[in-house]
Chain A
Amino acid sequence: MSAEAYLRPKRGLASPLTGVIPEEVRQTWFYKFLLFPVGQMIIFIVGASAVLTLLAYLVALLVPEPRPGIVLADQISRQLPGMIISGITIGFVYSMVALGYTLVYGVLKFINFAHSEIFMVGAVTGYEIMLRIQEAGLLQQMSPFMLVPTLVIGSGLLAGLLAVLIERVAYRPLRGAPRLVPLITAIGLSFVLQDVVRAFFSLTRNAFNLTYPLNNLEWLRAPVRLTFGEANVNVRVTSILIVVSAVIMLVALNYFVNGTKWGRAIRATSQDQTMAGLLGINVNLMISLTFFLGGSLGGASGALYGLNIGTVTPYVGFIPGLKAFTAAVLGGIGNLTGALLGGLTLGIIESFLNGILVYFPALGTRYTDIFTFSILILILIFRPSGLLGEKVDEKV
């Protein structure tokens, strides 16, 4: 990929819309760092949902009655809002993890396989923090606006620092080695992290199936009722919490990367390390910072994921990590906007698959993962640069 392509805000998809906005507005802080990124997310969500809804109805047209007595089109219509909302929820989690892969790929050009375990560390840290709060007897008093930021910031910080440590200990000595060497190290590290976490929790908590203490929280259990025309949809509070926290973090990341001096230094490092070094940028510091950013996003999304599914284990990172990697590749690895688009699209695809495959007796939802994974293979074969990436020329 040409050097300029990395980490630069991509405007390709949204340009027909942004074109009508006057130049003065486009230069304002409000537009650049708030309106534009949030608008982008909304466009991605609407676009992906629309395309997938069409596809779902196409399936319904081809197979009207997968099971006797069940009309697929009716089922889809009934479940549509619910599927989209759960898709967005998991999609934001994938997006944030995918950003970790993409940020590191941007600066070091290698796939940080251990990132899925950073996500896992975030998830178990969230559990530990929440349990500590409960043991202190404060869980009932805490409002969601206190609890969720505590979880997210705590897990994010720890996971970010862990990512920096991993880079320093395991990846920095290998810089300049053949491409497969750091990849093998990363695979090794992910096993080490899994076992260390398992040992820690089986020693301190005597278990490694860690269930978030969510049962006593009244505000969490009562669903929020939304009305779409005639259909009523019950939205879980955790979904709303995840989406809101994710949007805040993604907007903050966008500001950091595109609006600050540090962000500019990171982008410079990703374009050309030697040149960035010559211009007085501390390249090693910038690489550490990138790992911190990616790691803390991964850790925070781990805590949110834990809130969403309730029970986490030391092995919880593998499948979401693989899916987030798929999302990063789907969007175009190395491209931040691509990670967002890929994550949201993949989340919605998965939720639609879950909703529809139930009605096919021969398949069932247990094949959802295979379908999601086939997407990765298909993209890698037909468009390895992803949806938003540029064509990669092999260097000789």
Chain B
Amino acid sequence: MAAASIPQNPVQDFLKKPINVTLAMIAYVVVTTVAMVLISNSRQAALYPLFNMIGFTAFILSPILIISIPAPNLWRGLLLVAFVFFVVPVIGLVNTAYLELAIQISLFAGMALGLNIVVGFAGLLDLGYVAFFASGAYLWGMFTSEANTVFRQNGWTVDPANFYAFLVLGIIVAAIIGILLGSPVIRLKGDYLAIVTLGFGELIRILARNLDQPVNLTNGSQGLHSIGRPPLPDFLQSLTDGVADFFQIPLAAPGPIARQLMFYFLAIGLIGLIIVVARSLEESPIGRAWTAIREDEVAARAMGVSLVRMKLLAFATGASFGGAVGVLYAAKQTFIDPTSFGLLQSIGILVMVIVGGMGNIKGVLLGAMIITLVDQHILNNLSALIRAAVPTLPSSLDPTKYQPFIFGLLLVLMMIFRPAGLLPAARRRLELLAEREEKIEEEPKTKKVK
């Protein structure tokens, strides 16, 4: 990086020492946390949306900063655990909107990590990724919803206590759907594959919308309502009450908040699992085979990589992550309908992967964080700010309506100016640089050789 090549910067020198940077990080977390509490208590202030927007963004970016600092693994790990399992829940008790945002970020991060396997690791552009998410969500929804489907009519519904079994089932079903959808099209070249997967995404949505006749499986465009939720463990309820008592936080509705906390921990656990699986896959022979396929299919085949098997494996792995997140999403929202699974959702997840950096797990997490924040937090607050400043603004100029525009613009700008993403994977960066610089004259070397 350019900044690292300036040795005379005293701040840089100070931050190179692990102890200093760790202390600075703790200070950052403490300052943003205190700021969050203060902001939450000043909702009447005129500039509340601005503080809210900046404050929460700074606060929630902490985990990415924590895993980026040059400190020993143990310190970073402890800091991360403290942040994720203590600071965020407590802030969430202070203001439940923040807890909701943290859950949304975790869910989208899980999906983005799944898509990253397909797009980032194996280099297969999948524009219908939401299909797998939808299959997981509908799996849980159909078996537990109170809507008048054949499942309810024939008494095939299951007790919500079986949630964890269905999480596993969701993984399996999504993986099977991934293989079924993937196997006919896996031989296609990149751009054809993209369009066919886009079509598959639409196909799943059309099926979800139309399968209320002749037998009502999905309740059609009305969607499935009152979807079952896993039972709340008693210890979580008492823990929530205890923590709230200790910090003197008045809880408006202890039950729902404890439930939200349960979903938060479930989502965190799920992405933790996904990260572990993705990382071990990346460094395994399978991951190397994916990289080989992504870089040069012909060469990979010549080296004995089974293209079909490896590509299907990538599809199935990515799909299974999407399916698991789908089950959790349906249980958390308790309502799903076909509009939640459109092309825009697929593209949104793709934007997360591309903005963050294809193939880089940390980058994808950052991308998921930024895009979810923009989508569900920053645009809302921006709109509140603008409406406060210009009350006569026509509603058609409200920033919250420009989500597709922002996604599209981000895709175009990233591809033109920074195709490897904000945090590029090391290999990807080299590859893209090499292709760009083939025609340009060799640039003067700016990197310092140690």
In the complex, which residue of chain A has the Cβ closest to the Cβ of B123?
A: A180
Known: A185-B416, A380-B196. A191 touches B408 (CB 8 A): yes
Interface positions, chain B 209-238, Cβ under 8 Å from A, are: 210, 213-214
Contact for A180 among B125, B184, B344, CB less than 8 A: B125
A196, B435: Cβ atoms closer than 8 Å = no
Q: Which residues of B contact A178 (CB under 8 A)?
A: 432, 435
Known: A176-B439, A183-B125, A203-B394. A195 touches B195 (CB 8 A): no
Known: A174-B416, A381-B185. A191 touches B439 (CB 8 A): no
In the complex, which residue of chain B has the Cβ closest to the Cβ of A196?
A: B405
The A interface is mostly helix, strand or loop, or mixed, namely helix
Q: Which residues of A contact B184 (CB under 8 A)?
A: 377, 381
A199, B396: Cβ atoms closer than 8 Å = yes
A193 to B: closest C-beta gap in Å: 8
In the complex, which residue of chain A has the Cβ closest to the Cβ of B405?
A: A195
Known: A180-B191, A191-B407, A369-B206. A376 touches B196 (CB 8 A): yes
Interface string of A353-382 (1 = CB under 8 A from B): 000000001101011011001001100110
Interface string of B370-397 (1 = CB under 8 A from A): 0000000000000000000000001011
B206, A195: Cβ atoms closer than 8 Å = no
Q: Which residues of A contact B185 (CB under 8 A)?
A: 377, 380-381
Contact for B411 among A177, A187, A366, CB less than 8 A: A187
In the complex, which residue of chain A has the Cβ closest to the Cβ of B299?
A: A396
Interface string of A161-193 (1 = CB under 8 A from B): 000000000100110111111111101111111
A209 to B: closest C-beta gap in Å: 13
A351 to B: closest C-beta gap in Å: 19
Complex Cα–Cα for A162 and B59 (A): 42
B199, A184: Cβ atoms closer than 8 Å = no
Number of interface residues of A (CB under 8 A): 50
Complex Cα–Cα for A369 and B402 (A): 28
B404, A191: Cβ atoms closer than 8 Å = yes
Q: Which residues of B contact A394 (CB under 8 A)?
A: 298
Q: Which residues of A contact B331 (CB under 8 A)?
A: none
B97 to A: closest C-beta gap in Å: 27
Whether B243 is near chain A, meaning CB under 8 Å from some CB there, is: no
Whether B347 is near chain A, meaning CB under 8 Å from some CB there, is: yes
Whether A325 is near chain B, meaning CB under 8 Å from some CB there, is: yes
B196, A179: Cβ atoms closer than 8 Å = no
Interface positions, chain A 194-221, Cβ under 8 Å from B, are: 194-196, 198-199, 202-203, 206
Q: Which residues of A contact B439 (CB under 8 A)?
A: 176
B407 to A: closest C-beta gap in Å: 6
Known: A177-B435, A187-B408, A394-B298; 8 extra A-B contacts, CB below 8 A, are: A177-B415, A179-B191, A188-B408, A191-B404, A192-B405, A195-B405, A370-B206, A384-B192
Seen from chain B, the residues whose Cβ lies within 8 Å of a Cβ on chain A are: 123, 125, 127, 184-185, 187-192, 194-196, 198-199, 202-203, 206-207, 210, 213-214, 298, 343-344, 347, 350, 354, 394, 396-397, 402, 404-405, 407-412, 415-416, 419, 432, 435-436, 438-439
A-B contact pairs, 13 of them (CB 8 A): A174-B415, A177-B436, A178-B435, A183-B190, A187-B347, A187-B350, A187-B408, A187-B411, A188-B409, A322-B199, A325-B195, A370-B203, A370-B207
Listed from nearest, the 8 A-B pairs whose CB atoms lie closest are A188-B411, A191-B408, A195-B405, A202-B396, A192-B408, A188-B408, A188-B412, A191-B404
